[in-house]
Structure 1
């Protein structure tokens, strides 16, 4: 296992974040580790006396990045850090926390164990999206969870064509389409009726959003597939494309959207006892409301 000596800390303002950051920094400094803060954490902790680095540069100097916040914080960090191959560990200050799976009360034990080399490492792939207009690229982005094309207006359907690996799949009227990774299958896609995919799967899910045709259902394709969406000329709206709900590209009728797997993967660090199925039981409440069986006594 890798031994981590240079630790980057990323976070953003939120309920209890400063308290958790102080607790984390106390642990790291007690172990005489080199700590580098990103700009947003530095602003939350005046007079900290530690090194500060722009987030996009932290992967070059740090051998472990710890993100304090919710899954949204980790999603943003992942997109900027993946190309540096720096492993990322999440401390949850959000709600569900599928990606940030260490609770603030477990920092000393769980983060301490990771620093001692007791952890598991998962690789998660991201999606790359580019939007072409008249053959010229007018926008691009990447996503750890999902790429979403939607009408951009409440109660107004849009029309688009879908192709996979150059083969026509269908022309659809709906609120839009979600293209998600296994990581994103427990996020927005799940709310739209998409399948839950194990993180180790090399697959992409395509999930329609309220399609006008009731027979239209989610499709799971190979992870190396190329997804193409064409915004039909019949649209009277300019549909946005979003990446993890954080990056937005506005399209026009006639634009073409390509979605492909990125070559670089996120290296996600988990505590040694991490279980995807246990996370599902905990976060999604699987079996939480089952009645107890009657005793035969």
Structure 2
């Protein structure tokens, strides 16, 4: 018997192709005798299919499921990760987005690859997330979490922002730039890569800080220990009101004097991959690395 019996499904409901793959996946799971639990919005998108499936909120899936399968793009998996990491339920991704670094099963492999995972043939990877909080006058007023990155940026206006950076209580620098990306290894192939940051292997216990268009050519990306704690103080001279986003969501708008704190989340996420998953092959295919 498979270790995964209760299987949650989350889908990119605005995508017709994702809904098609969801229905195909549901039929496969139900034929195999698995208990299917649909996330609420996903259930609404597949009306008429899977009448025996249970329906649950995204958070409750973490309590009820042995495995959650996400059908969509990396953004869909990031959202599921933020909601479910605290429950330690593993996630498996089927790609119905564009790049698909995290959702690595293609639609035409659903029965084959998902079947292998359910039979115990898979690779499990542990990934860490970041917790972010913002305080004003010593009182917290905004927070969020991220699997990829926390980004500080000027918001809707293109203006340089100025801030002080501290790592583990030690002053690092005062920077004027378009912002700063604080990225996990998982996020190193996302926005941080576009900003000139290094690609980090997912197994690394490290965090990279990538300045966005800094006002000095000597300001370069910094890779630090994964247990590091960051404090960013928004300086008084800012004309813009710096925004803080987590994986592009959970936006907090700051004021001069606000303090942003970022550190590793205590709960880790387990990502499940097919048995033939290879990080370097993913990089070759997604980033178009040269093959002789």
TM-score, scaled relative to structure 2: 0.97
Which of residues 192, 195, 202 is equivalent to 1:192?
Answer: 195
Which of residues 108, 113, 128 is equivalent to 1:110?
Answer: 113
Are 2:240 and 1:244 aligned?
A: no
Q: Name 1:78's counterpart in structure 2.
A: 81
For structure 1, the residue ranges without an aligned partner over 5 or more in a row are: 291-297
Q: Name 1:3's counterpart in structure 2.
A: 3
Report 1:164-203 matches (<5 A): 164-203=167-206
Report 1:123-138 matches (<5 A): 123-138=126-141
Q: The residue matched to 2:197 in structure 1 has which SS? A: coil
1:246 CA displacement: 1.6
1:15 CA displacement: 4.0
Q: Name 2:283's counterpart in structure 1.
A: 280
1:219 CA displacement: 0.1
Q: Given that residues 2 and 119 in structure 2 are in contact (C-alpha distance below 8 angstroms), is that contact kept between their aligned partners in structure 1?
A: no
1:92 CA displacement: 0.3
1:154 CA displacement: 4.2
Q: Name 1:25's counterpart in structure 2.
A: 26
1:263 CA displacement: 0.7
Q: Deviations over 1:27-82 (max 9, x none)?
A: 10111000000011111111332210000110100000000000000000000100
Mapped partners of 2:141, 2:45: distance in 1: 36
Q: Given that residues 94 and 103 in structure 2 are in contact (C-alpha distance below 8 angstroms), is that contact kept between their aligned partners in structure 1?
A: yes
Report 1:255-274 matches (<5 A): 255-274=258-277
Q: The residue matched to 2:171 in structure 1 has which SS? A: strand
Q: Name 2:256's counterpart in structure 1.
A: 253
Which segment drifts farther, 1-10 or 122-131?
Answer: 1-10
1:123 CA displacement: 0.4
1:18 CA displacement: 1.4
Mapped partners of 2:223, 2:287: distance in 1: 22
Mapped partners of 1:211, 1:31: distance in 2: 55
Q: How many residues of Structure 1 are paired with residues of Structure 2 in the alignment? A: 289
Are 2:212 and 1:209 aligned?
A: yes
Q: Given that residues 143 and 250 in structure 2 are in contact (C-alpha distance below 8 angstroms), is that contact kept between their aligned partners in structure 1?
A: no
Q: Deviations over 1:193-223 (max 9, x none)?
A: 0010000000000000000001100000000
Q: Name 1:293's counterpart in structure 2.
A: none
* Residues 67 and 228 of structure 1: CA distance in aligned 2, closer, same or farther (over 3 Å): same
Mapped partners of 1:32, 1:203: distance in 2: 41
Which of residues 42, 55, 60 is equivalent to 1:57?
Answer: 60
Q: Given that residues 67 and 91 in structure 1 are in contact (C-alpha distance below 8 angstroms), is that contact kept between their aligned partners in structure 2?
A: yes
1:155 CA displacement: 2.8
Mapped partners of 1:119, 1:260: distance in 2: 30
Q: Name 2:35's counterpart in structure 1.
A: 34
Mapped partners of 1:15, 1:95: distance in 2: 14
1:12 CA displacement: 2.0
Which of residues 55, 72, 75 is equivalent to 1:69?
Answer: 72
1:2 CA displacement: 6.7
